[in-house]
Amino acid sequence: MPIPLQSIREAAARTRDRLHRTPVLSSRVLGERAGTQLLLKCESFQKTGSFKPRGALNIVLSMPEERRARGLITVSAGNHAQAVAWAARVAGVPCTVVMPTDAPRSKMDAVRGYGAVIVTHADRATLFDRLHEEEARTGASFVHPFDDPVGLAGAGTLGLEIVEQVPDVTCVVVPIGGGGLMAGVTSAVKALKPGCRVIGVELEAGPGMTPALDAGKPIPVPRAPTVADGLTPPFVGALPLEIARDLLDEIVLIGEAEILEAMRMLLVRAKLYVEGAGAAATAAVLAGRVKAGSDEVVVSVVSGGNVDPERMLAVFSS
């Protein structure tokens, strides 16, 4: 079942005073290159630099006070970690985050800056096992990064904004990591504009949703090193999987070189400082993986902008 539109609207009302309504920007050069009318939904301008606070804050504000008072705990390679740490600071409660040892330094620094405690773990495949150990030890309340319906309702507020800001949109392109963003956006867009296509984008080297759809359930996925670390959770969520199966129009795969080129193009042509996962949807449009005619209005979700300066410099030297 999709996330109910009413739940998404309630999430928007609950979080509106603390979050940004992010802009939709156009780029004539990128649109001409893609052969379509391309617009960019810039979640890189959201609080903490990504879409993640939409879901994290909705979860935290929806919690019973006694549960929230126990503190928060989560697991993330970066953007969700920052979002939960920020939401914990908003709520005035402690926060612990389990992060992979090789998470980007800028994301770790931001998590600490919001006042959270970081527990590092070397093996990404067993991050959730380490999380559950800390959860049992601390008694803190787990804020799931991509498989909580309350969090997905928060992510769906992005879809509400797209339809409100671009009422003639015909196609929305969204990256897929754990699937929470895709699930929320798809639920909102399909409820408001059933004829609008929603297309998910995964890494060619290590997709998660595509094999889960084939298997009929989330399965562990080996992930190759990539600049798009936000697209590399160990598995996708069960609820996003159901929504993808029932509502998502298509999933396309994108390669590392195409993501790097999109990061370059977004910086040079659109003046947007964007991380690899944040560039994935635009990469799929620019590379022709998303089939859209010149009369279509395509909105690409730029999901985040948290990238180390050293990594961005490496993008331009590659």
pLDDT computed for residue 211 by the predictor: 96
Please, which residues have CB within 8 angstroms of residue 252's CB and are 6 or more apart in sequence?
199, 200, 201, 202, 284, 289, 290
List, as one string, the DSSP characters of 29-58: HHHHHHTSEEEEEEGGGSGGGBSTHHHHHH
Q: How far apart are CA 228 and CA 238, in angstroms?
A: 22
Question: How many angstroms from the chain centroid is the CA of residue 241?
Answer: 15
pLDDT tens-digit profile of 112-141? 999 999 999 998 889 899 999 999 999 999
Q: Do the Cβ atoms of 303 and 281 come closer than 8 Å?
A: yes
Question: How many angstroms from the chain centroid is the CA of residue 32?
Answer: 26
List, as one string, the DSSP characters of 173-227: EEE-SSSHHHHHHHHHHHHH-TTSEEEEEEESSS-SHHHHHHHTS---------S
Q: Hey, CA dihedral for 147, 117, 141, 6, is it positive or negative?
A: negative
pLDDT computed for residue 102 by the predictor: 86
pLDDT computed for residue 31 by the predictor: 95
193 is catalytic: no
Name the residue with tokens 């890494």. 203
Q: How far apart are CA 218 and CA 241, in angstroms?
A: 7
Region(s) of the chain under CATH 3.40.50.1100: 5-50+148-317, 53-142
pLDDT computed for residue 155 by the predictor: 98
With a cut of 70, which residues of the chain have pLDDT below it? 318
Contacts 24+ apart (CB under 8 A), 268-274: 269/27, 269/29, 269/30, 270/25, 270/27, 270/30, 270/40, 272/25, 272/40, 272/42, 272/44, 272/302, 272/305, 273/44, 273/305, 273/307, 273/312, 274/44, 274/302, 274/304, 274/305, 274/307
- Point out the catalytic residue in the list 50, 187, 300, 303: 303
Pairing status of strand 117-121 against strand 95-100: parallel
Q: How many other CB atoms sit within 10 Å of the CB of residue 297? A: 18
Q: How far apart are CA 75 and CA 84, in angstroms?
A: 10
* Residue 72 backbone phi and psi in degrees, to 5: -115, 150
- Point out the catalytic residue in the list 52, 107, 190, 193: 52
Residue type, position 147, single letter: D
CATH entry 3.40.50.1100 includes domain 53-142: yes
pLDDT computed for residue 2 by the predictor: 94
271 is catalytic: no
Q: What is the CATH number of domain 5-50+148-317?
A: 3.40.50.1100
pLDDT computed for residue 314 by the predictor: 84
Q: How far apart are CA 160 and CA 12, in angstroms?
A: 9
Q: How far apart are CA 296 and CA 53, in angstroms?
A: 30
Residue 220: exposed, middle, or buried by beta-carbon count in 10 A (0-12, 13-18, 19+)? exposed
pLDDT computed for residue 107 by the predictor: 85
